[in-house]
């Protein structure tokens, strides 16, 4: 169900690499620092996706769809 997760993780890593490459070309030190910060946030997104993917996969592996309430969570 979450087969796109690895692809997204790689997309985030690629985006981080791309931003870092652009940052190296920027002369303004403040702008360069901001770009490196943004790149680090993309790396963090990839890390979080890597950490959360197993728990999300387990949560939805029983067959319920994400937009439907899980069993036992229906309003009374």
Write the pLDDT tens digit of every residue in 32-74: 999 999 999 999 999 998 888 777 777 777 665 555 555 555 5
What's the pLDDT at 18? 96
Structure tokens at 46: 């990839």
Structure tokens at 13: 């890593």
What's the pLDDT at 6? 52
Q: What is the mean pLDDT of residues 8-17?
A: 89
Q: pLDDT averaged over the chain?
A: 80
Is the full-model pTM beyond 0.95? no
Structure tokens at 67: 């937009």
What's the pLDDT at 74? 55
């Amino acid at each position: 169900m979450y087969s796109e997760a690895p692809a997204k993780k790689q997309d985030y890593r690629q985006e981080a690499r791309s931003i870092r490459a652009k940052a190296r070309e920027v002369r303004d030190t403040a702008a360069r620092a901001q770009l490196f910060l943004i790149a680090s946030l993309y790396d963090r997104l990839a890390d979080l996706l890597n950490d959360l993917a197993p728990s999300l996969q387990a949560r939805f592996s029983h067959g319920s769809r994400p937009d439907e309430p899980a069993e036992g969570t229906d309003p009374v």
